[in-house]
Amino acid sequence: MHPILYESESLTLYTYGFCIAIGALLGFSYMYWQGKKEFGLTFDQSNNLFIMLVLAGIIGGKLFLIFEDPAEYLHNPKRLFSGSGFVFYGSLLLAIPIMLWYFKKIKIPVMGMLDVMAIVTCIVHGFGRIGCFMAGCCYGIPTNNFLGVIFTDTKCQAEPLNTALHPTQLYEAALIFTIMIVLWYYRSGKKFAGQLFLLYLIAYALGRAVLEIFRGDIQRGFIIEDILSNSQLISLCVISLAGYFYVKLNRKANLYRH
C-alpha cells in the first residue's frame, strides 16, 4: 500500500512505525487516564509500566519469530534483530506475566487493572494492524471478491503484487476495534474483575483462528501443514485457559451474589 510515509535523503518515516507510535500514544493516554480514575495509578507508574510493556512487546514478538522457521533463525540468530517483524502473540504472552507482577508490586488490584489493559491492548494492536496493511505484511490469499486489495508498491511485503488479496490486516483491525467498542460499553456492567480482559482474550483468539484461514504469508509456520498454523494452536490454548478462568471467576462471583 504505502510502506513509506515520508522519505528524504536524511530521513525515512515508515508508515508501520508511525501507526504503532500513534497507537502507543493513545494507549498510554487511556491507560493513565482510566488507571488514575479507577485505581489511583500515577504518571510515573504508568510510564514505568508502558516502558516494560514496550520492551516485552519487542522481545516476545521477536522471539516468537523463531516458530516461523526454527532452523533458519537458530542457524542465523542475527535475523531476529533485523526489521523482519514481530509476532503479536509473542508480545502478548510475555506482557501478561509482566503486568501481573507489576500490578502486585505497586499494590493495584490486578484483575481490575487487567480490564483497563484489555482496551489499551486493543488500541495499540488495532493501529498496529493498520500499519501492517500499509506495509503489506500479514497479507491475505488471492481473492476474486469485492473486498480484494491490490498491492503494487515493490517496497511492501505483500505477495504476489498486482493481484487482489484478502486485506486480512483490515479484517483483523475491524475485529480488534469491534472488541474494543464492546468492552467499552460493557465495562460498567461487568460481573467480576478481570471479565473484560478474559472476554478480550477469548474473542480475539476466536477471531484470529478464523482469520488465519485467509492469511497468505505461509512463512508464519504450521503445526500441521496447511491445516493448523502456529497462531491457530496458540489461539486454541488461549481460548482454553481464558475460558477456564472465566468460568471459575464467574462462578465465584455468582456465589458471592447469593
Are 133 and 174 contacting, i.e. CB atoms less than 8 angstroms apart?
A: no
Find the domain containing 10 and state its range: 4-257
Residue type, position 154, single letter = T
Q: What is the chain's length?
A: 258
Handedness of CA 98, 102, 105, 110 (dihedral sign): negative
What dihedral angle (degrees, nearest 10) is formed by the CA atoms of 70, 236, 214, 26? -90
Are 53 and 60 contacting, i.e. CB atoms less than 8 angstroms apart?
A: no
Examine the pLDDT at 81 and tell me if it is beyond 60.
no
Gap between the Cα atoms of 250 and 146, Å rounded = 42
Examine the pLDDT at 56 and tell me if it is beyond 80.
yes
Are 67 and 230 contacting, i.e. CB atoms less than 8 angstroms apart?
A: yes
pLDDT tens profile 103-154: 999 999 999 999 999 999 999 999 999 999 998 888 999 999 999 999 998 8
Gap between the Cα atoms of 21 and 247, Å rounded = 36
CA atoms within 13 A on the CB side of 226: 1
User: How many domains does the chain divide into?
Assistant: 1
Question: Residue 139: is it exposed, middle or buried by C-beta count within 10 angstroms (0-12/13-18/19+)?
Answer: buried
Gap between the Cα atoms of 167 and 242, Å rounded = 28
pLDDT tens profile 196-221: 999 999 999 999 999 999 998 866 66
In the chain, % helix, strand, coil (3-state, to 5) comes to 70, 5, 25
β-sheet bridge partners, residue 215: 140
Q: What is the pTM of this model?
A: 0.90
What percent of the chain lies above the pLDDT cut of 90?
Answer: 64
**CB atoms closer than 10 angstroms to residue 253:** 16
Candidates 127, 113, 129; CA nearest to 49 is: 113
